[in-house]
Amino acid sequence: NKQNELLRMMRKKTQSMEEEQDQLNCQLRQLEIAS
């Protein structure tokens, strides 16, 4: 049961990290377009 909680937390972490990565990529693209 504890392992399941850990897995869920890890999944949440990686998901939010991927979302941050997407946001960074978007910002980079906008910067490239602007320059």
Buried b (16+ CB within 10 A) or exposed e, 1-35: eeeeeeeeeeeeeeeeeeeeeeeeeeeeeeeeeee
**What mean pLDDT do residues 16-30 have?**
97
How far CA 35 is from CA of 19, 27, 31, in Å, comes to 25, 12, 6
Asked if residue 31 has pLDDT above 90, the reply is yes
pLDDT of amino acid 19: 98
Q: Predicted confidence band at 29 (pLDDT cuts at 50, 70, 90)?
A: very high
Name the pLDDT band for 11 (thresholds 50, 70, 90): very high
Number of independent structural domains in the chain: 1
Q: In which domain, by residue range, is 23 found?
A: 1-35
